[in-house]
Amino acid sequence: MKFYMTPGSCSTGIHILLETLELPFEVYLVNLMAGDQFKSEYLAINPKATIPTLVRDDGSSITDFQAIAWWLARRYPKAKLLPDDIEGETRVLETMNYVVGTIHGQGYTRIFTTANYSTNDSAGKADHAVIQTRGREIVEKGFAVMNALLADKEYVVGNFSIADAALFYVEFWADKIKVDLPPNCQAHYQRMLQRPVVRQVLLEEGYRV
């Protein structure tokens, strides 16, 4: 398989899942700052111009974090990256969608890609500060929700699942931009950092562990 990713991005969560499954795959780096996602050769496999992308052995592509993570879990069930019962699987999907769609998609995007939320091309620092503040509010509220979810649990549904890989990457971002994680999220983040595969992936992506 071919895995298109950007170090330190949401694709880090998929990278963790691929290494957890011990699957053979080729890595292709997508430089978002340089606009690699808009090049014709990349658009041919992912017309959404997003990351991550997983090209399977038959040449077909899967895009979007949730779809790739769910496919990996269902394709390799022996790894138990999804609960066996419908209630547990539902909770995993619910959590993963909230993390990716809200904490990342509504919160962090306002912090990292502030200009996309400004209707004024000449908007100044004050306008951008308001947008980024709103982004941090969404992120912090999201972590409050996750903190309650993690009460008395080591992982989202008790055992490590694809939802934990999603939650980890937004916790990792919080660490990097100095967003305070509430206690249960901080404990989850530290627990994830102790997993050998997570440490391996971070080192491969160029981060000190």
- The highest-level CATH class for domain 2-79 is alpha beta
**Based on the number of CB atoms within 10 Å of its own CB, is 120 exposed (0-12), middle (13-18) or buried (19 or more)?**
exposed
Q: Residue 123 has what pLDDT?
A: 58
Mean pLDDT, consecutive 10-residue stretches, the chain (209 aa), reads: 98 98 97 96 97 97 98 97 96 98 98 87 75 97 98 96 98 97 98 98 94
**Based on the number of CB atoms within 10 Å of its own CB, is 26 exposed (0-12), middle (13-18) or buried (19 or more)?**
exposed
- Domain 86-195 sits in CATH 1.20.1050.10: yes
Cα distances from 47 to residues 50, 113, 163, in angstroms, run 8, 20, 25
The secondary structure of the chain in percent helix, strand, coil, rounded to multiples of 5, reads 60, 10, 35
Rounded CA-CA distance 121/2 in Å is 37
Q: Residue 68 has what pLDDT?
A: 98
Rounded CA-CA distance 105/156 in Å is 20
Q: Which tokens go with 24?
A: 């053979």
Q: Residue 121 has what pLDDT?
A: 60
Q: Residue 154 has what pLDDT?
A: 97
Q: Residue 196 has what pLDDT?
A: 98
Q: Are 81 and 72 in contact (CB under 8 A)?
A: yes
Q: Residue 192 has what pLDDT?
A: 98
H or E, element range at 5: strand 2-5
Q: Residue 126 has what pLDDT?
A: 76
pTM above 0.85, yes or no: yes
Q: Residue 178 has what pLDDT?
A: 95
Q: Quick check: helix, strand or coil at residue 47? A: coil
Per domain, the residue ranges of the chain are: 2-79, 86-195
Q: Residue 24 has what pLDDT?
A: 96
Could you give the maximum distance between any two Cα atoms of the chain, in Å? 54
Q: Which tokens go with 141?
A: 């509220």
